[in-house]
Chain A
Amino acid sequence: MSDASRAEVCVVACAEAWRGDGAILAGPMALIPRLGARLAQLTFAPELVLSDGEATLVNSGGESEGWLPYRAVFQVVAAGRRHVMMGASQLDRYGNQNISCIGDWARPDSQLLGVRGAPGNTINHVTSYWVPRHSPRTFVERVDMVCGIGYDRAAALGAPANRFHEIRVVVTDLAVLDFATPDRSLRLRSLHPGVTVPEVVRATGFPLAVADEVPPTRWPTTDELALIRDRLDPQGLREREIRCGPG
Protein backbone atom coordinates (compact mmCIF):
# COMPACT_ATOMS: atom_id res chain seq x y z
CA MET A 1 0.00 0.00 0.00
CA SER A 2 1.27 3.45 -0.86
CA ASP A 3 1.79 6.29 1.55
CA ALA A 4 -1.24 8.46 0.77
CA SER A 5 -1.91 11.31 3.19
CA ARG A 6 -5.30 12.03 4.74
CA ALA A 7 -5.64 15.02 2.40
CA GLU A 8 -5.10 12.74 -0.60
CA VAL A 9 -7.71 10.27 0.68
CA CYS A 10 -10.09 13.25 0.98
CA VAL A 11 -9.34 14.39 -2.58
CA VAL A 12 -10.29 10.93 -3.90
CA ALA A 13 -13.41 10.82 -1.68
CA CYS A 14 -14.50 14.18 -3.11
CA ALA A 15 -13.78 12.98 -6.66
CA GLU A 16 -16.05 9.97 -6.07
CA ALA A 17 -18.99 12.33 -5.38
CA TRP A 18 -19.17 13.17 -9.11
CA ARG A 19 -18.87 9.57 -10.39
CA GLY A 20 -21.53 8.83 -12.99
CA ASP A 21 -22.80 12.42 -13.24
CA GLY A 22 -22.08 12.80 -16.98
CA ALA A 23 -21.75 16.16 -18.75
CA ILE A 24 -22.77 18.47 -15.95
CA LEU A 25 -21.03 21.38 -14.22
CA ALA A 26 -19.05 20.43 -11.12
CA GLY A 27 -19.09 23.22 -8.54
CA PRO A 28 -16.32 22.63 -6.00
CA MET A 29 -16.08 25.49 -3.46
CA ALA A 30 -12.74 24.77 -1.79
CA LEU A 31 -9.30 23.45 -2.63
CA ILE A 32 -9.73 19.76 -1.85
CA PRO A 33 -13.10 19.45 -3.65
CA ARG A 34 -11.54 21.38 -6.56
CA LEU A 35 -8.69 18.86 -6.72
CA GLY A 36 -11.27 16.07 -6.46
CA ALA A 37 -13.35 17.39 -9.35
CA ARG A 38 -10.27 17.76 -11.56
CA LEU A 39 -9.09 14.28 -10.59
CA ALA A 40 -12.51 12.84 -11.47
CA GLN A 41 -12.42 14.63 -14.84
CA LEU A 42 -8.91 13.30 -15.55
CA THR A 43 -9.82 9.70 -14.67
CA PHE A 44 -13.28 8.15 -14.39
CA ALA A 45 -15.50 11.15 -15.27
CA PRO A 46 -14.06 12.71 -18.45
CA GLU A 47 -17.47 14.21 -19.36
CA LEU A 48 -17.52 16.42 -16.26
CA VAL A 49 -17.53 20.18 -16.99
CA LEU A 50 -15.29 22.44 -14.92
CA SER A 51 -14.87 26.18 -14.58
CA ASP A 52 -11.62 28.06 -13.89
CA GLY A 53 -13.37 29.72 -10.96
CA GLU A 54 -14.11 32.79 -13.08
CA ALA A 55 -16.11 32.81 -16.31
CA THR A 56 -14.23 30.23 -18.40
CA LEU A 57 -14.94 26.51 -18.77
CA VAL A 58 -11.73 24.47 -18.88
CA ASN A 59 -11.09 20.89 -19.92
CA SER A 60 -8.80 18.45 -18.17
CA GLY A 61 -5.81 19.81 -20.06
CA GLY A 62 -6.53 23.23 -18.59
CA GLU A 63 -7.53 24.61 -22.01
CA SER A 64 -10.62 26.81 -22.45
CA GLU A 65 -13.69 25.17 -23.90
CA GLY A 66 -16.48 27.58 -23.10
CA TRP A 67 -17.82 30.72 -21.42
CA LEU A 68 -19.90 30.64 -18.25
CA PRO A 69 -20.31 34.03 -16.55
CA TYR A 70 -22.30 34.26 -13.30
CA ARG A 71 -25.61 34.93 -15.04
CA ALA A 72 -25.21 31.69 -17.02
CA VAL A 73 -24.37 29.76 -13.84
CA PHE A 74 -27.86 30.61 -12.57
CA GLN A 75 -29.33 29.19 -15.75
CA VAL A 76 -27.33 26.00 -15.25
CA VAL A 77 -28.58 25.86 -11.65
CA ALA A 78 -32.20 26.32 -12.71
CA ALA A 79 -31.77 23.72 -15.45
CA GLY A 80 -30.33 21.26 -12.92
CA ARG A 81 -27.16 20.52 -14.86
CA ARG A 82 -24.83 20.99 -11.90
CA HIS A 83 -23.55 19.13 -8.84
CA VAL A 84 -22.05 21.49 -6.33
CA MET A 85 -19.85 20.63 -3.36
CA MET A 86 -20.35 23.47 -0.91
CA GLY A 87 -18.91 24.24 2.50
CA ALA A 88 -21.02 24.26 5.64
CA SER A 89 -20.49 26.32 8.76
CA GLN A 90 -23.27 24.25 10.33
CA LEU A 91 -24.94 21.04 9.13
CA ASP A 92 -27.69 19.07 10.86
CA ARG A 93 -28.71 15.39 10.74
CA TYR A 94 -31.02 15.91 7.75
CA GLY A 95 -28.48 17.91 5.79
CA ASN A 96 -29.78 21.42 6.44
CA GLN A 97 -26.78 23.69 5.88
CA ASN A 98 -25.89 27.16 7.16
CA ILE A 99 -23.31 29.59 5.79
CA SER A 100 -25.20 32.77 6.66
CA CYS A 101 -24.71 33.58 10.33
CA ILE A 102 -24.18 32.07 13.78
CA GLY A 103 -26.74 32.96 16.44
CA ASP A 104 -29.98 34.90 16.11
CA TRP A 105 -30.40 36.06 12.51
CA ALA A 106 -31.74 39.46 13.62
CA ARG A 107 -28.55 40.15 15.57
CA PRO A 108 -25.98 37.44 14.82
CA ASP A 109 -23.11 36.57 17.12
CA SER A 110 -21.14 36.11 13.95
CA GLN A 111 -22.20 37.21 10.49
CA LEU A 112 -20.83 34.87 7.83
CA LEU A 113 -21.12 35.06 4.04
CA GLY A 114 -24.88 35.12 3.59
CA VAL A 115 -27.08 32.44 2.05
CA ARG A 116 -25.30 32.84 -1.32
CA GLY A 117 -26.73 30.33 -3.81
CA ALA A 118 -27.44 27.54 -1.31
CA PRO A 119 -31.28 27.78 -1.38
CA GLY A 120 -31.34 27.69 -5.18
CA ASN A 121 -28.72 24.95 -5.43
CA THR A 122 -30.41 22.52 -3.07
CA ILE A 123 -33.89 22.87 -4.59
CA ASN A 124 -32.59 22.55 -8.16
CA HIS A 125 -29.77 20.02 -8.34
CA VAL A 126 -27.49 17.57 -6.56
CA THR A 127 -25.49 19.02 -3.69
CA SER A 128 -22.66 17.56 -1.62
CA TYR A 129 -20.76 19.10 1.27
CA TRP A 130 -17.09 19.33 2.22
CA VAL A 131 -16.26 19.87 5.90
CA PRO A 132 -12.50 20.09 6.53
CA ARG A 133 -12.88 20.02 10.36
CA HIS A 134 -15.39 17.41 11.49
CA SER A 135 -16.54 18.72 14.88
CA PRO A 136 -19.65 19.21 17.03
CA ARG A 137 -19.43 22.92 16.20
CA THR A 138 -20.24 22.12 12.57
CA PHE A 139 -22.45 19.03 13.01
CA VAL A 140 -25.19 20.52 15.19
CA GLU A 141 -28.69 19.56 16.31
CA ARG A 142 -30.19 22.65 14.69
CA VAL A 143 -28.59 25.08 12.28
CA ASP A 144 -29.18 28.75 13.04
CA MET A 145 -30.28 29.63 9.48
CA VAL A 146 -31.31 27.07 6.87
CA CYS A 147 -29.53 28.12 3.68
CA GLY A 148 -29.20 24.77 1.87
CA ILE A 149 -32.29 22.65 2.58
CA GLY A 150 -32.06 19.17 4.06
CA TYR A 151 -34.17 16.06 3.60
CA ASP A 152 -36.75 16.95 6.28
CA ARG A 153 -37.38 20.36 4.73
CA ALA A 154 -37.57 18.81 1.25
CA ALA A 155 -40.02 16.17 2.51
CA ALA A 156 -42.18 18.86 4.11
CA LEU A 157 -42.33 20.69 0.79
CA GLY A 158 -43.50 17.49 -0.87
CA ALA A 159 -43.90 16.78 -4.57
CA PRO A 160 -43.42 18.26 -7.08
CA ALA A 161 -41.31 20.95 -5.38
CA ASN A 162 -38.79 18.50 -3.94
CA ARG A 163 -38.24 16.36 -7.03
CA PHE A 164 -34.78 17.74 -7.83
CA HIS A 165 -33.49 17.71 -4.23
CA GLU A 166 -30.59 15.36 -3.51
CA ILE A 167 -27.77 15.61 -1.02
CA ARG A 168 -25.30 13.03 -2.26
CA VAL A 169 -22.45 12.87 0.25
CA VAL A 170 -20.75 14.79 3.03
CA VAL A 171 -16.97 14.41 2.92
CA THR A 172 -15.03 15.43 6.04
CA ASP A 173 -11.46 15.10 7.25
CA LEU A 174 -12.56 11.98 9.15
CA ALA A 175 -15.08 10.15 7.00
CA VAL A 176 -17.57 10.02 4.17
CA LEU A 177 -21.21 10.32 5.24
CA ASP A 178 -24.52 10.07 3.38
CA PHE A 179 -28.27 9.97 4.03
CA ALA A 180 -28.97 6.35 3.08
CA THR A 181 -31.21 5.69 6.07
CA PRO A 182 -35.01 5.20 6.21
CA ASP A 183 -35.56 8.69 7.64
CA ARG A 184 -32.85 10.26 5.46
CA SER A 185 -30.66 11.21 8.41
CA LEU A 186 -26.88 11.35 8.37
CA ARG A 187 -25.10 7.99 8.23
CA LEU A 188 -21.46 7.07 8.41
CA ARG A 189 -20.62 5.53 5.03
CA SER A 190 -16.86 5.03 5.25
CA LEU A 191 -13.97 5.82 7.57
CA HIS A 192 -10.75 7.44 6.41
CA PRO A 193 -7.71 5.30 7.24
CA GLY A 194 -6.69 5.58 10.90
CA VAL A 195 -10.06 6.98 12.02
CA THR A 196 -12.34 5.04 14.39
CA VAL A 197 -16.13 5.00 14.69
CA PRO A 198 -16.11 6.47 18.23
CA GLU A 199 -13.92 9.31 16.98
CA VAL A 200 -16.50 10.28 14.34
CA VAL A 201 -19.40 9.83 16.77
CA ARG A 202 -17.67 12.11 19.30
CA ALA A 203 -17.07 14.73 16.61
CA THR A 204 -20.76 14.78 15.62
CA GLY A 205 -23.17 16.84 17.71
CA PHE A 206 -26.17 14.54 17.19
CA PRO A 207 -26.74 10.76 17.08
CA LEU A 208 -25.20 9.39 13.92
CA ALA A 209 -26.46 6.32 12.06
CA VAL A 210 -23.67 3.76 12.03
CA ALA A 211 -23.82 0.34 10.36
CA ASP A 212 -22.42 -2.73 12.12
CA GLU A 213 -19.47 -2.70 9.80
CA VAL A 214 -18.17 0.55 8.33
CA PRO A 215 -15.85 0.09 5.34
CA PRO A 216 -12.72 2.14 4.84
CA THR A 217 -12.79 5.06 2.40
CA ARG A 218 -11.35 4.03 -0.94
CA TRP A 219 -7.57 4.29 -1.05
CA PRO A 220 -6.06 6.38 -3.90
CA THR A 221 -4.60 4.34 -6.74
CA THR A 222 -0.97 4.80 -7.75
CA ASP A 223 -2.12 6.67 -10.86
CA GLU A 224 -4.40 8.95 -8.84
CA LEU A 225 -1.61 9.77 -6.39
CA ALA A 226 0.73 10.61 -9.25
CA LEU A 227 -1.90 12.92 -10.79
CA ILE A 228 -2.58 14.66 -7.48
CA ARG A 229 1.10 15.10 -6.61
CA ASP A 230 2.70 15.82 -9.97
CA ARG A 231 -0.03 17.51 -11.95
CA LEU A 232 -2.91 18.87 -9.85
CA ASP A 233 -1.18 20.13 -6.71
CA PRO A 234 2.62 19.94 -7.06
CA GLN A 235 3.00 22.59 -4.34
CA GLY A 236 1.18 20.41 -1.81
CA LEU A 237 -1.39 23.03 -0.83
CA ARG A 238 -3.81 20.19 0.03
CA GLU A 239 -1.75 19.33 3.09
CA ARG A 240 -2.49 22.78 4.55
CA GLU A 241 -6.25 22.27 4.27
CA ILE A 242 -6.04 18.95 6.11
CA ARG A 243 -3.35 19.02 8.78
CA CYS A 244 -2.95 15.34 9.37
CA GLY A 245 -0.10 12.94 8.73
CA PRO A 246 -0.03 9.75 6.68
CA GLY A 247 -2.90 7.39 7.01
Chain B
Amino acid sequence: MTVAEVVGELRSGMTIGIGGWGSRRKPMALVRAIARAGLTRLTVVTFGGPDVGLLVAAGCVRRLVTGFVSLDSIALEPHFRRARHEAALELTELDEGMLYWGLLAAAHRLPFLPTRAGLGSDVLRVNPGLRTVRSPYSDGEELVAVPAWPLDAALVHLNRADGRGNGRYLGPDPYFDDLFCLAARRRFVSCERLVGTDELVAAGPPQGLLVNRMMVDGVVVTPHGAHFTSCVPDYGRDEAFQRAYADAAASPPDWDRFRATYLDGDEDDYQEAVRRRLGTSTIGAR
Protein backbone atom coordinates (compact mmCIF):
# COMPACT_ATOMS: atom_id res chain seq x y z
CA MET B 1 0.00 0.00 0.00
CA THR B 2 0.90 3.66 -0.14
CA VAL B 3 0.57 6.15 2.71
CA ALA B 4 -2.29 7.78 0.80
CA GLU B 5 -4.10 4.45 0.45
CA VAL B 6 -3.86 3.81 4.20
CA VAL B 7 -5.21 7.26 5.01
CA GLY B 8 -7.88 6.71 2.34
CA GLU B 9 -9.26 3.90 4.50
CA LEU B 10 -9.73 6.24 7.46
CA ARG B 11 -12.69 8.54 8.02
CA SER B 12 -13.44 11.48 10.26
CA GLY B 13 -15.04 10.40 13.52
CA MET B 14 -13.23 7.06 13.68
CA THR B 15 -11.53 5.59 16.75
CA ILE B 16 -7.88 5.09 15.87
CA GLY B 17 -5.24 3.30 17.96
CA ILE B 18 -1.63 4.33 17.49
CA GLY B 19 1.24 2.04 18.55
CA GLY B 20 4.60 2.91 20.06
CA TRP B 21 5.11 4.56 23.43
CA GLY B 22 5.79 8.23 24.25
CA SER B 23 8.30 9.39 21.68
CA ARG B 24 9.28 5.88 20.55
CA ARG B 25 8.50 3.93 17.36
CA LYS B 26 5.46 5.99 16.44
CA PRO B 27 4.04 5.59 12.91
CA MET B 28 4.78 9.27 12.30
CA ALA B 29 4.62 9.12 8.48
CA LEU B 30 1.00 7.94 8.80
CA VAL B 31 0.29 10.49 11.56
CA ARG B 32 1.64 13.30 9.36
CA ALA B 33 -0.53 12.05 6.49
CA ILE B 34 -3.65 12.04 8.69
CA ALA B 35 -2.91 15.61 9.75
CA ARG B 36 -2.43 16.65 6.10
CA ALA B 37 -5.64 14.90 5.03
CA GLY B 38 -7.56 17.00 7.54
CA LEU B 39 -9.50 14.19 9.20
CA THR B 40 -11.53 15.51 12.12
CA ARG B 41 -13.41 14.34 15.25
CA LEU B 42 -11.06 11.37 15.73
CA THR B 43 -10.93 9.43 18.97
CA VAL B 44 -7.24 8.58 19.43
CA VAL B 45 -6.19 5.72 21.73
CA THR B 46 -2.47 5.77 22.49
CA PHE B 47 0.39 5.77 24.96
CA GLY B 48 0.82 9.36 23.92
CA GLY B 49 3.75 11.18 22.37
CA PRO B 50 4.14 13.57 19.42
CA ASP B 51 1.45 11.60 17.56
CA VAL B 52 -1.00 13.30 19.92
CA GLY B 53 0.70 16.70 19.57
CA LEU B 54 0.71 16.71 15.78
CA LEU B 55 -2.88 15.52 15.46
CA VAL B 56 -4.12 17.94 18.12
CA ALA B 57 -2.29 20.84 16.49
CA ALA B 58 -3.90 19.94 13.16
CA GLY B 59 -7.38 19.90 14.71
CA CYS B 60 -7.97 16.20 14.05
CA VAL B 61 -8.76 15.02 17.58
CA ARG B 62 -12.05 15.23 19.45
CA ARG B 63 -11.26 12.71 22.19
CA LEU B 64 -8.01 11.29 23.50
CA VAL B 65 -7.83 8.04 25.47
CA THR B 66 -4.49 7.79 27.27
CA GLY B 67 -2.56 7.53 30.53
CA PHE B 68 0.02 10.18 29.63
CA VAL B 69 1.38 12.31 26.83
CA SER B 70 5.16 12.80 26.87
CA LEU B 71 8.08 13.28 24.53
CA ASP B 72 10.26 11.25 26.94
CA SER B 73 13.40 13.40 26.89
CA ILE B 74 11.10 16.44 26.96
CA ALA B 75 8.67 15.54 29.72
CA LEU B 76 5.60 17.51 28.58
CA GLU B 77 3.98 17.71 25.12
CA PRO B 78 3.35 21.39 24.34
CA HIS B 79 0.45 21.03 21.88
CA PHE B 80 -1.37 18.67 24.22
CA ARG B 81 -0.81 21.04 27.15
CA ARG B 82 -2.26 23.98 25.25
CA ALA B 83 -5.27 22.00 24.04
CA ARG B 84 -5.99 20.90 27.61
CA HIS B 85 -5.62 24.44 28.94
CA GLU B 86 -8.04 25.69 26.31
CA ALA B 87 -10.41 22.74 26.93
CA ALA B 88 -10.16 22.08 23.19
CA LEU B 89 -9.99 18.34 23.75
CA GLU B 90 -12.08 15.69 25.44
CA LEU B 91 -9.90 13.43 27.54
CA THR B 92 -10.38 9.92 28.85
CA GLU B 93 -7.53 9.82 31.35
CA LEU B 94 -6.67 6.31 32.52
CA ASP B 95 -3.96 4.55 34.42
CA GLU B 96 -1.48 3.17 31.84
CA GLY B 97 -2.28 -0.36 32.93
CA MET B 98 -6.01 0.32 32.44
CA LEU B 99 -5.34 1.37 28.85
CA TYR B 100 -3.42 -1.90 28.35
CA TRP B 101 -6.31 -3.83 29.91
CA GLY B 102 -8.94 -2.15 27.70
CA LEU B 103 -6.95 -3.06 24.58
CA LEU B 104 -6.59 -6.63 25.84
CA ALA B 105 -10.35 -6.80 26.47
CA ALA B 106 -11.05 -5.60 22.93
CA ALA B 107 -8.51 -8.07 21.52
CA HIS B 108 -10.31 -10.87 23.37
CA ARG B 109 -13.76 -9.61 22.31
CA LEU B 110 -14.67 -9.15 25.96
CA PRO B 111 -16.77 -6.20 27.20
CA PHE B 112 -14.35 -5.47 30.06
CA LEU B 113 -11.52 -6.84 32.17
CA PRO B 114 -11.21 -6.38 35.94
CA THR B 115 -8.28 -4.63 37.56
CA ARG B 116 -7.27 -3.11 40.87
CA ALA B 117 -5.75 -0.07 39.12
CA GLY B 118 -7.85 3.05 39.52
CA LEU B 119 -9.54 2.10 42.82
CA GLY B 120 -9.59 5.05 45.20
CA SER B 121 -8.06 7.42 42.65
CA ASP B 122 -9.60 10.35 40.78
CA VAL B 123 -9.48 8.33 37.56
CA LEU B 124 -12.99 7.21 38.57
CA ARG B 125 -14.02 10.83 39.31
CA VAL B 126 -12.95 12.20 35.92
CA ASN B 127 -14.37 9.19 34.06
CA PRO B 128 -17.87 8.95 35.58
CA GLY B 129 -18.78 6.26 33.05
CA LEU B 130 -16.33 3.79 34.60
CA ARG B 131 -17.99 1.02 36.60
CA THR B 132 -16.78 -1.41 39.22
CA VAL B 133 -17.60 -5.11 39.32
CA ARG B 134 -17.79 -7.53 42.24
CA SER B 135 -16.03 -10.87 42.06
CA PRO B 136 -18.63 -13.67 41.78
CA TYR B 137 -16.37 -15.92 43.86
CA SER B 138 -16.15 -16.22 47.62
CA ASP B 139 -13.66 -13.32 47.95
CA GLY B 140 -16.35 -10.89 46.75
CA GLU B 141 -13.70 -8.30 45.96
CA GLU B 142 -14.76 -5.16 44.15
CA LEU B 143 -12.63 -4.22 41.14
CA VAL B 144 -12.64 -1.67 38.34
CA ALA B 145 -14.24 -3.01 35.15
CA VAL B 146 -12.05 -1.53 32.43
CA PRO B 147 -14.21 -1.30 29.29
CA ALA B 148 -12.86 -2.68 26.04
CA TRP B 149 -11.49 -0.12 23.60
CA PRO B 150 -12.43 -1.57 20.20
CA LEU B 151 -10.67 0.38 17.46
CA ASP B 152 -11.85 1.17 13.96
CA ALA B 153 -8.22 1.17 12.86
CA ALA B 154 -4.77 0.52 14.31
CA LEU B 155 -1.57 2.10 13.03
CA VAL B 156 1.82 0.72 14.10
CA HIS B 157 5.39 1.11 12.86
CA LEU B 158 7.87 -1.79 12.79
CA ASN B 159 11.46 -2.23 11.69
CA ARG B 160 10.78 -4.94 9.08
CA ALA B 161 7.75 -6.42 7.35
CA ASP B 162 6.93 -8.51 4.34
CA GLY B 163 4.24 -7.56 1.85
CA ARG B 164 1.72 -9.96 3.35
CA GLY B 165 1.52 -8.39 6.80
CA ASN B 166 4.09 -10.28 8.83
CA GLY B 167 6.26 -7.91 10.83
CA ARG B 168 9.26 -7.84 13.13
CA TYR B 169 10.54 -5.38 15.72
CA LEU B 170 14.31 -5.24 16.24
CA GLY B 171 14.42 -2.95 19.27
CA PRO B 172 14.17 -4.04 22.90
CA ASP B 173 10.46 -3.39 23.46
CA PRO B 174 7.36 -4.53 21.53
CA TYR B 175 5.32 -1.87 23.35
CA PHE B 176 1.66 -2.84 22.74
CA ASP B 177 1.66 -2.84 18.95
CA ASP B 178 0.30 -6.38 18.56
CA LEU B 179 -2.53 -5.57 20.97
CA PHE B 180 -3.46 -2.43 19.02
CA CYS B 181 -3.72 -4.61 15.91
CA LEU B 182 -5.74 -7.31 17.70
CA ALA B 183 -8.13 -4.68 19.09
CA ALA B 184 -8.86 -3.13 15.69
CA ARG B 185 -11.18 -3.82 12.78
CA ARG B 186 -8.64 -2.55 10.19
CA ARG B 187 -4.90 -2.89 10.87
CA PHE B 188 -2.06 -1.09 9.09
CA VAL B 189 1.68 -1.55 9.56
CA SER B 190 4.26 0.93 8.31
CA CYS B 191 7.83 -0.33 8.24
CA GLU B 192 11.39 0.84 7.78
CA ARG B 193 12.14 -1.84 5.20
CA LEU B 194 9.96 -4.19 3.20
CA VAL B 195 11.69 -7.56 2.85
CA GLY B 196 10.87 -11.00 1.53
CA THR B 197 9.37 -13.47 3.99
CA ASP B 198 12.60 -15.52 4.02
CA GLU B 199 14.66 -12.48 4.92
CA LEU B 200 12.08 -11.37 7.51
CA VAL B 201 12.24 -14.74 9.25
CA ALA B 202 16.05 -14.87 9.05
CA ALA B 203 16.43 -11.39 10.60
CA GLY B 204 16.11 -12.66 14.17
CA PRO B 205 14.43 -15.15 16.51
CA PRO B 206 10.79 -16.10 15.78
CA GLN B 207 9.51 -14.35 18.91
CA GLY B 208 10.55 -11.02 17.37
CA LEU B 209 7.85 -11.51 14.74
CA LEU B 210 5.38 -9.32 16.59
CA VAL B 211 2.52 -9.29 14.08
CA ASN B 212 1.41 -11.71 11.41
CA ARG B 213 -0.92 -11.56 8.44
CA MET B 214 -3.95 -12.65 10.53
CA MET B 215 -3.60 -9.34 12.38
CA VAL B 216 -2.69 -7.00 9.52
CA ASP B 217 -4.68 -5.68 6.56
CA GLY B 218 -2.06 -3.53 4.89
CA VAL B 219 1.67 -2.82 4.87
CA VAL B 220 3.27 0.41 3.74
CA VAL B 221 7.00 1.04 3.54
CA THR B 222 7.98 4.40 5.08
CA PRO B 223 11.79 4.60 5.52
CA HIS B 224 12.65 6.90 8.44
CA GLY B 225 8.88 6.95 8.93
CA ALA B 226 9.03 7.02 12.74
CA HIS B 227 11.17 10.19 12.68
CA PHE B 228 11.60 12.14 14.93
CA THR B 229 10.69 9.42 17.42
CA SER B 230 13.11 6.52 17.94
CA CYS B 231 13.10 3.34 15.88
CA VAL B 232 16.07 1.48 17.36
CA PRO B 233 18.29 -0.10 16.16
CA ASP B 234 17.60 1.59 12.79
CA TYR B 235 17.88 5.04 14.39
CA GLY B 236 17.51 6.78 17.72
CA ARG B 237 15.27 9.72 18.56
CA ASP B 238 16.28 12.92 16.74
CA GLU B 239 16.64 14.97 19.91
CA ALA B 240 17.58 18.21 18.13
CA PHE B 241 14.58 17.95 15.82
CA GLN B 242 12.29 17.09 18.72
CA ARG B 243 13.56 20.19 20.54
CA ALA B 244 12.85 22.27 17.43
CA TYR B 245 9.33 20.78 17.26
CA ALA B 246 8.65 21.55 20.92
CA ASP B 247 10.11 25.07 20.68
CA ALA B 248 8.01 25.80 17.58
CA ALA B 249 4.86 25.04 19.56
CA ALA B 250 5.53 28.06 21.77
CA SER B 251 3.84 30.57 19.44
CA PRO B 252 1.52 30.44 16.41
CA PRO B 253 4.01 32.19 14.06
CA ASP B 254 6.77 29.77 15.07
CA TRP B 255 4.45 26.84 14.54
CA ASP B 256 3.35 28.21 11.13
CA ARG B 257 7.02 28.36 10.10
CA PHE B 258 7.63 24.82 11.34
CA ARG B 259 4.55 23.56 9.53
CA ALA B 260 5.48 25.30 6.29
CA THR B 261 9.00 23.84 6.45
CA TYR B 262 8.14 20.29 7.44
CA LEU B 263 4.46 19.43 7.30
CA ASP B 264 2.70 21.19 4.43
CA GLY B 265 4.26 18.99 1.74
CA ASP B 266 4.06 15.21 1.50
CA GLU B 267 6.17 12.60 3.30
CA ASP B 268 8.96 12.81 0.67
CA ASP B 269 9.09 16.57 1.21
CA TYR B 270 9.28 16.01 4.98
CA GLN B 271 12.17 13.56 4.71
CA GLU B 272 13.99 15.87 2.27
CA ALA B 273 13.56 18.80 4.68
CA VAL B 274 14.91 16.64 7.52
CA ARG B 275 17.94 15.66 5.41
CA ARG B 276 18.60 19.31 4.52
CA ARG B 277 18.35 20.27 8.18
CA LEU B 278 20.76 17.51 9.23
CA GLY B 279 23.23 18.59 6.54
CA THR B 280 23.48 22.12 7.88
CA SER B 281 23.03 21.49 11.60
CA THR B 282 25.70 18.75 11.59
CA ILE B 283 28.29 21.26 10.39
CA GLY B 284 27.18 23.81 12.95
CA ALA B 285 26.90 21.46 15.88
CA ARG B 286 30.11 19.42 15.64
Q: Is the CB–CB distance between A120 and B117 below 8 Å?
A: yes
- Is A161 on the interface with B (CB-CB < 8 A)? yes
Contact with A along B84-112 (1 / 0, CB 8 A): 11110000011111101000000000000
Given A55-B172, A106-B87, residue A156 in contact with residue B116 (CB < 8 A)? no
CA distance A69 to B94 in the complex (A): 20
Which residues of chain A in 86-122 are interfacial with respect to chain B, using CB atoms and an 8 Å cutoff? 100-101, 105-120, 122
Q: Does A77 contact B (CB under 8 A)?
A: yes
Residue from A107, A117, A156 in contact with B85 in the complex, judged by beta carbons closer than 8 Å: A107
Closest CB in chain A relative to B180 CB, distance in Å:
12
- Residues from chain A with a CB closer than 8 A to the CB of B141 are 160-161
**B80 within 8 Å of A (CB atoms):** yes
Within 49-70 of A, Cβ neighbours of B (below 8 Å) are at 54-56, 67, 69-70
| Cβ B176 vs Cβ A147 within 8 A | no
Contact A111 B80 (CB under 8 A): yes
B174 — nearest CB in chain A belongs to which residue?
A: A69
Distance A100 CA – B87 CA, assembled complex (angstroms): 15
Task: Report yes or no: A74 in contact with B139, Cβ–Cβ below 8 A.
Answer: no
- What distance in Å separates the Cβ of B69 from its nearest Cβ neighbour in chain A? 6
A172 within 8 A of B: no
Select one of A77, A145, A164 contacting B126, CB under 8 A: A145
- Alpha-carbon gap, A56 to B96, bound state (A): 20
**A107: chain B residues within 8 A (beta carbon):** 84-87
User: Majority SS of interface residues in chain B?
Assistant: loop
Q: Are A115 and B81 in touch, CB under 8 angstroms? A: no
Q: Which of B48, B67, B75, B117 contacts A123 (CB 8 A)?
A: B117
Cross-chain contact B120 with A100 (CB below 8 angstroms):
no
Contact (Cβ within 8 A) B97 A54: no
CA distance A78 to B98 in the complex (A): 11
Interface centre among B85, B94, B175 (most CB of A within 10 A): B85
Question: Are A147 and B122 touching (Cβ within 8 A)?
Answer: yes
B96 & A116 in contact (Cβ 8 Å cutoff) = yes
Contact call B176/A119, Cβ cutoff below 8 A: no
Q: Is the CB of A123 within 8 A of B97?
A: no
Q: Known interface pairs A119-B121, A120-B118. Does A112 touch B76 (Cβ–Cβ under 8 Å)?
A: yes
Contact across chains for B67 and A115 when beta carbons are under 8 A apart: yes
* Chain B residues within 8 Å of A138, by CB: none
Cα A56 to Cα B139 in complex, Å, equals 36
Q: In B170-188, which residues have CB < 8 Å from any A CB?
A: 172-176
- List the B residue with the shortest CB-CB distance to A87: B75
In the bound complex, do residue A146 and residue B122 qualify as a contact, i.e. CB atoms below 8 Å apart? Answer: yes
* Residues 114-141 of A at the B interface (beta carbon under 8 Å): 114-120, 122-124
**Other-chain contact of B116, A112, A123, A146 (Cβ < 8 Å):** A123
Q: Is B70 an interface residue (CB 8 A)?
A: yes
| Proximity bits, B9-20, A CB within 8 Å = 1, else 0 | 000000000000
Q: Given A78-B97, A112-B76, A154-B120, A105 and B172 touching (CB < 8 A)?
A: no
Tell me if A119 and B117 are in contact (CB < 8 A). yes
Q: Which of B85, B117, B141 has the most CB of A within 10 A?
A: B117
Q: Indicate if the CB atoms of A157 and B119 lie closer than 8 Å.
A: yes
The one of B48, B75, B76, B123 in contact with A115, judged by C-beta atoms closer than 8 angstroms, is B123
The answer to whether B81 touches A153 (Cβ under 8 A) is: no
> Which residues from chain A contact B66 at a C-beta distance below 8 Å?
114
B85 touching A108, Cβ below 8 Å: yes
Q: Is the CB of A117 within 8 A of B70?
A: no
- Name A71's contact: one of B80, B81, B172, B176 (CB within 8 Å): B176
Q: Which of B68, B84, B85, B120 has the most CB of A within 10 A?
A: B120
Compute how far the CA of A115 lies from the CA of B126 in the bound complex, rounded to whole angstroms: 11
Closest 5 CB pairs of A and B: A120-B117, A114-B68, A55-B172, A111-B84, A119-B121
| A residues at B contact (CB < 8 Å) | 54-56, 67, 69-71, 74, 77-78, 100-101, 105-120, 122-124, 145-149, 153-154, 156-157, 160-162, 164
8 additional contacts, CB 8 Å, given A113-B75, A161-B142?
A: A71-B175, A107-B86, A113-B69, A114-B69, A115-B96, A120-B118, A146-B121, A157-B120
Which B residues contact A (CB, under 8 angstroms)? Answer: 21, 48, 66-70, 75-76, 80-81, 84-87, 93-98, 100, 115-123, 125-126, 139, 141-142, 172-176
30 A-B pairs with CB atoms under 8 Å apart are A54-B173, A69-B173, A71-B100, A71-B174, A74-B96, A77-B117, A100-B93, A105-B122, A106-B87, A111-B84, A111-B85, A113-B68, A115-B93, A115-B121, A115-B122, A115-B123, A116-B67, A116-B96, A117-B97, A119-B118, A119-B120, A119-B121, A120-B98, A146-B121, A146-B125, A149-B120, A153-B121, A157-B119, A157-B120, A161-B119
